[in-house]
Amino acid sequence: MKYRLFPLLLLVLLILAGCGGEAPTATDQPWALEVEYGDSGVTAAVWEYQWNLRGEDGVSATDAQGTDPLGQLSQIPFVNKSKTGTLKLKFAIQPESLTVACYTNADGYGEAVTVEPSGKDNAVPVPAEAGSYLFGVTAQWSETEEAQAWGSSTYYFRYLPEGDTGEQVGELSLYRLLKLGPDDLFGVEFFHNGESAQKTVTTVADKTAVLEFLQQNLSTDFTQIATPTLEAEFVLRLAVTDGSQLTIGYIPLSEGAGILLSGVPYAAGEMDLQSLWDSLGAQPVSLEAQAPEDVLETSEEDPGETLDDNFRYGYLRAMEGQVTVDEIDWIEDADAPNGYRIEPGETGQTYPLAADCQFWILQNHFKPFCRVEADTLWEWAQTTGWDVPFRLYFKDGAVVAIVEQYRP
């Protein structure tokens, strides 16, 4: 799959215009694709298109380019498997040509199988093998004297196993990882928490070694598991040239292992990360030497207890005059190994910082609470070796305090 990458996702869900026997009204966007599957269905995502609209002042043209769909799988609409055997691809105006490509997660959505639609409903058979599938549909409408609109458009929708919620936690980032090369990485921060050390990977040779190791060892099937701890023995934080990041924690278990994605553990095979660590040319730096020294004050009591109960949990992603977080839900759960579980929330949420905002971290991520400057808190969050959860306290729409959350 080769696509141009852009900072923002072009994801437009279009609704069919018109009703009854009347011709639908042409707009500056392509006709919607409605996917019917038995008694259910979805409107496919319009991903990219070249579209022409005839108006009183002549013809206006629109050229909209999309991102790599593997980077946005969780935002692509889906239908779940049922006993019905065909998917019907319906347009308000039937296209002159239609091509359908089907990708499977069995090979990391790498190679497409062409599917031939049939009949006036453009019916295609559902996949016979179990798994998750991504359908790409490209439609073409020709210019004629009578046509009010014409052009080409590519759409995407997913076909998922019965009961799959479509959240695809971690999957989209790992599928992208399977296709990255060393030139796609700014660098990698590799943490060895057993030795309390960090290596910063920047050379082509080291980046290649990390990518080849992960691509050979990471599974693309995700099953959430319970682990006796969420403390990872090794952590890899990859920074991609398009500005995105991926943090992977590795937890060895008595049987197999677990990987942490967004603070949530998933089943994984055993990986010899110690050998990878030893093989890299980057020199280790002690994490203990990076402990903050500019502590403004300390407190044995949680600073959040003096604030209003208006806060959200999240992982810090950027902080400069405002703060960007990937929000999480911290849920008390007596059945979980540590009495709680973390579930991913909205990503990339940005909030203003109050002028007198306070910043608190936990010494050794345990206690006491230490008030520090904003830059120190940011550096602390980046050098711990895993995603550190924080509580963001709000007042009048601004963040008035950021407090590190103790994780048992």
Half-sphere exposure of 320 (CA within 13 A, CB side): 2
Q: Which helix (H) or strand (E) holds 207?
A: helix 204-217
Whole-model pTM: value is: 0.48
Q: What is the pLDDT of residue 68?
A: 77
Rounded CA gap, 237 and 384, in Å?
Answer: 11
Rounded CA gap, 161 and 6, in Å?
Answer: 30
Residue tagged 């215009």 (tokens): 17
Q: What is the pLDDT of residue 213?
A: 93
Q: What is the mean pLDDT of residues 83-106?
A: 88
Instruction: Report the 10 Å Cβ neighbour count for 314.
Output: 25
pLDDT in tens, 265-315: 888 888 999 999 999 999 998 766 555 678 899 999 999 999 989 999 999
Q: Which residues fall within 8 angstroms of residue 14, CB to CB, at 6 or more apart?
A: 29, 30, 31, 32, 43, 46
24 neighbors 31 (Cβ within 8 angstroms):
yes
Amino acid, single-letter form, for residue 336: A
The DSSP bridge pattern shows strands 78-80 and 149-160 to be parallel
pLDDT in tens, 137-166: 999 999 998 889 999 999 999 998 877 666
Tokens of 151: 């052009």
Q: Is 68 helix (H, G, I), strand (E, B) or coil?
A: coil
